[in-house]
DNA sequence: TGTACATCAGTGAACGCGCGTTCACTGATGTAC
DNA sequence: TGTACATCAGTGAACGCGCGTTCACTGATGTAC
């Protein structure tokens, strides 16, 4: 039966939130519409009152997942002591927690492989979100121009995402930990004390 | 009908080779047994004369894919001019060609996200292959001990894999190229002239 | 070396399964008067 | 403000589809004598 506008809005938002979690935890294919709607307390048929297709939801949930992580990193960097913003980003991203809880982490290591095989609709949303992700964190990266800083941040995010993805893939905790630690050391060294907003203050 | 031992051996090898390509091009889920057997010139039923299950093939094909790429990078590094081995690895890995032809590239950027959701059998094979991948290339990385060099190489491979995966995921050629170029610059800088086999000669 | 029989690689129909999507239906909400 | 009606969020059965896997069968290969 028909629901109030407020209920409808809330339901739609819950679906996107659950999808953003499920996507990162299970991947695009494994995230089922039925399971998702069950988590929101409804049956699968109602889904299509909110979204044109699964792809449309995936596109929106990708954006959501990336925006969440961007906001978390931004907050961490802004609260970091002077000159420590980029180090803080690197430490937070390459943490055991981030490796172990994909559902609440960055969508790049969880989904980049899947996304390249998705339809245009999804890839486009993902691309836009990645650009604004790197764009908003760029001020913490070294470089003389906005472009340089954004490119540095893109390379850093891509690299850290690779480290998390590989650390999740391997079946050996010791090896996984070594991947995280060695990657931390690598990026801290590459972006040592020189760059970033603080150096320009 | 029954085939000669030589035929059987050849068929099995063809299946693994096609699987190693298809896996990297399409991902684990999308690689179908029927399609694969069709490419080898047979029907799907014959598959189970060679493999216990799809998972068993995926495990073997992962190893194959990683070993191929390791051999290619090893050859490139060994043929590089003195002091250029690591730079050559970085240039070859972070190339447009590698981004554009996943079927013939490294299995890490193509599969790491998928692998973390696969059964133990697959993850274990992948893990072993990754260890020997990093182990065999370790001599080109900086570090005083074998362990240090292997960890550096793990971090480098993970990072470069992340760059390739993200470059493949985004829907914008210019952004994709910038990810590759910025990543090249990052790793060339981080592993500048100091490290590696040549520096220890 | 020749023969009889067991083996087994490959065929193709059939299986169960889970998926995304559709659709007739329900009944509370929103709207027009 | 009250009433009549249109709207539409949600239900749950049904759809087609493609997948991995099984299985009875075929006939050339391998093996035992």
Q: Give per-residue pLDDT as tens, B95-126.
A: 999 999 999 999 999 999 999 999 999 999 99
Confirm if B13 and B50 have CB atoms less than 8 A apart: no
CA distance linking residue B156 with residue A99, whole number of Å: 18
Q: How far is the CA of A2 from the C1' of D5 (A)?
A: 15
CA distance linking residue B108 with residue B70, whole number of Å: 11
The 3-state DSSP composition of chain A as helix, strand, coil percent (nearest 5) reads 80, 0, 20
Burial of A175 (0-12, 13-18, 19+ CB in 10 A): middle
Q: Do A113 and B26 touch (CB under 8 A)?
A: no
At B192 the pLDDT is: 76
The 10s digit of each residue's pLDDT in B28-60 is 999 999 999 999 999 999 999 999 999 999 999
Chain C bases near protein Cβ (<7 Å): 7-14, 18-24, 26-30
Task: Identify the three-state secondary structure at position A131.
Answer: helix
Q: Which of B102, B162, B171 sits opposite A161 (nearest CB)?
A: B162
The 3-state DSSP composition of chain B as helix, strand, coil percent (nearest 5) reads 80, 0, 20
The 10s digit of each residue's pLDDT in A123-153 is 999 999 999 999 999 999 999 999 999 999 9
Q: Do B158 and A158 touch (CB under 8 A)?
A: no
Per-residue confidence band for A195, with pLDDT thresholds at 50, 70 and 90: very low
Q: Do A159 and B158 touch (CB under 8 A)?
A: yes
Chain A positions touching B187 (Cβ under 8 A) are 159, 190
At A192 the pLDDT is: 76
* pTM score, whole prediction: 0.94
At B1 the pLDDT is: 79
Residue whose CA lies closest to nucleotide D14 C1': A45
CA distance linking residue A186 with residue B61, whole number of Å: 30
Is the pLDDT assigned to residue B149 strictly greater than 60? Answer: yes
CA distance linking residue B201 with residue B184, whole number of Å: 25
Q: Which of A157, A165, A184 to mutate to test the interface with B (most CBs of B within 10 A)?
A: A165
CA distance B54 to chain A (A): 17
Q: How far is the CA of B9 from the C1' of D29 (A)?
A: 14
The 10s digit of each residue's pLDDT in B152-177 is 999 999 999 999 999 999 999 999 99
Is the pLDDT assigned to residue A155 strictly greater than 50? Answer: yes
B67 CB below 7 A from strand D atoms: no
The 10s digit of each residue's pLDDT in A73-123 is 999 999 999 999 999 999 999 999 999 999 999 999 999 999 999 999 999
Burial of A125 (0-12, 13-18, 19+ CB in 10 A): buried
CA distance A26 to chain B (A): 7
At A1 the pLDDT is: 79
At A193 the pLDDT is: 59
Per-residue confidence band for A201, with pLDDT thresholds at 50, 70 and 90: very low
């Amino acid at each position: 039966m028909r629901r109030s506008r407020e209920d409808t809005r809330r339901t739609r938002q819950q679906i996107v939130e659950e999808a953003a979690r499920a996507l990162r935890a299970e991947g695009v294919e494994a995230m089922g519409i039925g399971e998702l709607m069950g988590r929101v307390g409804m049956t699968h048929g109602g889904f299509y009152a909110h979204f044109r297709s699964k792809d449309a939801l995936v596109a929106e949930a990708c954006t959501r997942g990336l925006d969440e992580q961007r906001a978390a990193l931004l907050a961490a960097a802004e609260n970091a002591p002077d000159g420590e913003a980029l180090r803080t980003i690197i430490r937070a991203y390459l943490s055991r927690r981030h490796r172990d809880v994909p559902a609440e982490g960055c969508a790049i290591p969880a989904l980049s492989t899947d996304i390249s095989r998705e339809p245009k609709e999804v890839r486009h949303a993902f691309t836009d979100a990645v650009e604004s992700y790197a764009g908003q964190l760029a001020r913490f990266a070294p470089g003389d121009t906005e472009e340089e800083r954004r490119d540095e941040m893109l390379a850093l995010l891509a690299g850290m995402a690779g480290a998390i993805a590989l650390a999740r893939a391997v079946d050996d905790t010791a090896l996984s930990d070594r991947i995280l630690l060695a990657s931390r050391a690598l990026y801290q060294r590459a972006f040592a004390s020189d760059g970033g907003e603080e150096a320009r203050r």
